[in-house]
Structure formats: C-alpha cells, structure tokens
C-alpha cells in the first residue's frame, strides 16, 4: 500500500481481499464491502451494499424489511476496525479490536434493501490500547445512524 504526503492510503488496494486481511469477520457478519478512502490516523469511508438476500431481512421485518440499527453500528465499528488496524499496523498480528462502549447512538432513517450504506468513522481519541471513534452511516447523503464508540486492542 502506498501513501501520499498527507498519509492517505490508495483506495484501490481496499477491495474485499484487503478487507478480509484486516478484519477477522466472515459471512454472515462481515458488513464492509469496500473502502472508498482511508486517511491513516484520521478517518475512513467505507461502503456496505445492502441486499435483500441478507438473512436478517427474513425476520426484520417480513413485508417491510429494515436493516437493524445494531447492525449499522456493527458495520461502522468494522470500518473503524479497518482504520485502527491500518493506522496501528496490526494486520497479520494476533491483535483484535473489541467493543468497549457505545454511546450517543441515534437512528435517523431506516435502511432498506437495495441501497449502498456509506460508513464514515473517525478517531476521536487514540491511545496504545484504547481508541474512541465517531461514526455516521448514510444513504445518498441522508444520515441513517450516528454513534460514538470505544474499542480496545487486545490479543486474540
């Protein structure tokens, strides 16, 4: 992965193969499909393609499918996990990024099948083993979810 003078990683390197290398998540819990941009130590913009074929739509809710809010938060956390792994150079190590706290979660609009869910997360505070993030999910520029969360870097 190459970087420009501002520390911005080349986006094309963040296809699904690169995401799988950065995150331990696998189907059906992998909720990041692509990284659009990554500013090391600052922010990430990733995308989740929301498909009707996802198992949670079978029960949430039949006849009116809506992506659960907690899965929007999980998708934001996974994007933030990629940001942390790349910033702290943890790829290939035995380290995992775990939730410690979720706060100020607000759900603004429902997310339905057939949309691209934009995931934006940024560092609020970064320490050796604990990181705080702010996250925002949106569809076509309209906010669907906002949240702040704290994660811990730990051995797997």
DSSP state of 77: H
Task: Please report the pLDDT score of residue 150 as a whole number.
Answer: 97
Work out the end-to-end distance of the chain between its first and last CA atoms, rounded to an integer number of angstroms.
25
pLDDT beyond 60 at 155? yes
State how far the Cα of 66 lies from the Cα of 51, in Å rounded to an integer: 11
Domain encompassing residue 73: 8-155
Q: Are 135 and 119 in contact (CB under 8 A)?
A: yes
1 in a domain, yes or no? Answer: no
Residues labelled catalytic: 60
The CATH number covering residue 141 comes to: 3.10.129.10
79 in a domain, yes or no? Answer: yes
2 in a domain, yes or no? Answer: no
80 in a domain, yes or no? Answer: yes
> Where are the strands (E) in the chain, listed by range?
8-9, 34-39, 43-49, 95-107, 116-126, 130-139, 142-155
83 in a domain, yes or no? Answer: yes
43 in a domain, yes or no? Answer: yes
pLDDT in tens, 115-151: 999 999 999 999 889 999 999 999 999 999 999 999 9
Mean per-residue pLDDT over the chain, rounded:
91
pLDDT in tens, 61-79: 989 999 999 999 999 999 9
The alpha carbon of 20 is separated from its chain's Cα centroid by a whole number of angstroms, namely: 13
Does the model's pTM come out above 0.75? yes
Number of domains in the chain: 1
3 in a domain, yes or no? Answer: no
Q: How far is CA 6 from CA 40, 42, 122, in A?
A: 9, 11, 16
77 in a domain, yes or no? Answer: yes
């Amino acid at each position: 992965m190459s970087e420009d003078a501002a520390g911005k990683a080349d986006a094309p390197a963040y296809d699904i193969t690169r995401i799988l290398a950065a995150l331990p998540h696998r189907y059906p819990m992998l909720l990041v499909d692509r990284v659009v941009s990554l500013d090391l130590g600052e922010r990430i913009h990733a995308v989740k393609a929301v498909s009707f074929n996802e198992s949670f739509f079978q029960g949430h809710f039949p006849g009116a499918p809506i992506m659960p809010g907690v899965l929007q938060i999980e998708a934001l956390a996974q994007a933030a996990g990629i940001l942390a792994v790349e910033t702290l150079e943890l790829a290939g190590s035995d380290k995992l990024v775990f939730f410690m706290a979720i706060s100020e979660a607000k759900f603004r609009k429902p997310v339905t099948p057939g949309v691209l869910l934009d995931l934006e997360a940024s560092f609020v505070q970064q320490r050796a083993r604990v990181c705080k993030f702010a996250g925002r999910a949106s569809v076509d520029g309209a906010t669907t979810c906002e949240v702040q969360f704290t994660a811990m870097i730990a051995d797997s």
